[in-house]
Amino acid sequence: GIRRAYHSMAEIQFAAGARAVLPLHSDADYVKTPAAARRMIDTLSLELYRARLGSAHVMGGCAMGEDPRGAVVDSLGRHHQLENLSIHDGSLFPTSIGANPQLSIYALAAKLSSLLADRL
């Protein structure tokens, strides 16, 4: 999947008019044609720490829901198994929401924290 992503990104960048493309890999170098990109990407080792991956919008790690079989916390952010643990952050979304999340996270955290304060 990672190699396919390198290929797709290089194709997209050349198609958009890039004169050189640099895959985010420790052993990669600038390539100037789609054919050179294909050849180089096919040789890149995918061992740990050489292929660099990053995301600024990781969400959904503690998805909320009433059914403990499919959710980590309930709809008030209370952990289904650990008593007295509440989670109020971007991990409550079912998955990455596909848009800038900060305002939604602020809203969710403000609402759930106010309710938690009331309960306490």
Applying CB under 6 A, does 34 fall inside the site for ligand FAD? no
- 15 φψ region: left (φ > 0), alpha (ψ -120 to 50), beta (else): alpha
Kindly provide the b/e burial profile for residues 58-74, where b requires at least 16 CB atoms within 10 angstroms of the residue's own CB. Answer: ebeebebeeeeeebbbe
Give the total of residues touching ligand FAD (CB under 6 A). Answer: 8
Q: Which of 13, 65, 101, 115 binds ligand FAD (CB under 6 A)?
A: 101
Which of 8, 96, 100, 114 binds ligand FAD (CB under 6 A)? It is 100
105 forms part of the interface with ligand FAD (CB under 6 A): yes
Going by C-alpha positions, the residue among 57, 59, 58 that lies closest to residue 94 is: 59
Among 43, 81, 84, 102, binds ligand FAD (CB under 6 A): 102
- Which stretches of the chain bind ligand FAD, using CB under 6 A? 56-57, 89-90, 100-102, 105
